[in-house]
Amino acid sequence: MEQRREEGEEKRSENFMANSTFNDEIPANFGGTGSSIFDDKWGPTGFGFVDLLSVNHDFSPPIFDSLVQAPFLPPPPPLLPASASTAAPPLAPSQEVLIPSPASTVPESSEVLNTAPTTPNSASISSSSNEEQSKVGGDDGEQDQDDQKSKNKLKPKKKNPKRQREPRFAFMTKSEVDHLDDGFRWRKYGQKAVKNSPYPRSYYRCTTAGCGVKKRVERSSEDTTVVVTTYEGQHTHPCPITPRGSMGILTDAAGYGAASASLPFVVPQYFHHHQQQQRPYIISPSPSLNITASSGYNNPISFPSLIQERRVPPSMTSSVLLRDDGLLQDIVPSQMRNELKEE
């Protein structure tokens, strides 16, 4: 127990950048059909596949793999430029779509999901959505009420037609750390053994009152270096600033709060500096991509750096980035910064 505690603390601090080792492969069960990760409940009813970040354990410059518009959930306005739009056509429910990275041409087929990440040291993101959101999806605030209801186990439960879930967004990360600190506060409320996997699956819930976002974390059994994190729901609050020097750029204090919505998803902040460990590298969005907006804090996951980058009006992008270089300078590839300047 105690050991586990300590381990947990260590994990928290090390976050994403633990001694991660990367390879090119995405476990076959990621994005595949019938996997334990993307089962019928949490699995993609339609998701994009996004290379999100690269981590290099040699402190070499960050690698920009790709970031593409995923066919995210509830209708982000089609702001994609033509090039990206063609790459990521609107999804029909239950349709799996691979969003090819800019550098690669990959057919749109679920079968090629595993081949999507073409760059070493990459993590991937996928999103999924529910086509039939009714109960939970209808009102975030009701989530807790629902939980309350179900607390009394002996009480006969409502027979919901079908349990509906929030939009989900999953991503993979190469890390020895299971629970990735994304800037939000989570409370673990369950853990289950995963069939056909030696690794348990952990369930977390956002501790912020009224926020029903859930997170599921499990380690791939196929590639034990891969941690799959699945978010469900949308935060109803800003990303709290953590005391560990995280970016915290979702806050209004940073001046971008109002526009904090450049992503239909939010991804963890990988920015906790860990001086002796590898630095986390944020992938910069491809210039040809346009991460569309949802609204406010209503993002299931948050990816501060991306958000910051993209929610800045083009006219001030470069200056902001430059001015804010502090961490970004370390994180955002120079290539990316140059690209942004050119915009």
Residues contributing to the site for DNA (CB under 7 A):
1-2, 4-5, 8, 36, 39-42, 146-147, 150-154, 157, 159-160, 162-163, 179, 185-195, 201-205, 207, 214, 216
Q: Is 292 within 8 Å of 76 (Cβ atoms)?
A: yes
- Minimum Å gap between C-beta 155 and DNA is 8
- Minimum Å gap between C-beta 139 and DNA is 16
Distance spanning both ends of the chain, measured CA to CA: 53
Closer residue to DNA, CB minimum distance, 1 or 82: 1
Show Cβ contacts of residue 1 under 8 Å, excluding neighbours closer than 6 positions.
none
DSSP code of residue 195 = T
- Minimum Å gap between C-beta 286 and DNA is 32
CB-based burial label for 51 (10 Å; 0-12, 13-18, 19+): buried
Closer residue to DNA, CB minimum distance, 38 or 297: 38
- Minimum Å gap between C-beta 47 and DNA is 15
Q: Is 175 within 8 Å of 20 (Cβ atoms)?
A: yes
Show Cβ contacts of residue 88 under 8 Å, excluding neighbours closer than 6 positions.
48, 68, 69, 70, 71, 80, 97, 99
How many angstroms separate the CA atoms of 95 and 201, rounded?
A: 25
How many angstroms separate the CA atoms of 284 and 178, rounded?
A: 24
- Minimum Å gap between C-beta 90 and DNA is 25
Show Cβ contacts of residue 40 under 8 Å, excluding neighbours closer than 6 positions.
none
- Minimum Å gap between C-beta 226 and DNA is 17
- Minimum Å gap between C-beta 118 and DNA is 29
Q: For the sheet with 214-219, list strands across it.
A: 49-54, 122-128, 168-174, 226-232, 214-219, 200-206, 186-193
Beta bridge partners of 124: 51
Closer residue to DNA, CB minimum distance, 202 or 305: 202
- Minimum Å gap between C-beta 308 and DNA is 25
How many angstroms separate the CA atoms of 274 and 245, rounded?
A: 10
- Minimum Å gap between C-beta 242 and DNA is 11
Closer residue to DNA, CB minimum distance, 57 or 135: 135
Q: Which of 222, 314, 308 is nearest to 262 (CA)?
A: 308
Q: Is 330 within 8 Å of 278 (Cβ atoms)?
A: no
- The DSSP code sequence of 285-317 is PPTT-------TT--SS--HHHHHHHHS-HHHH
DSSP code of residue 82 = H
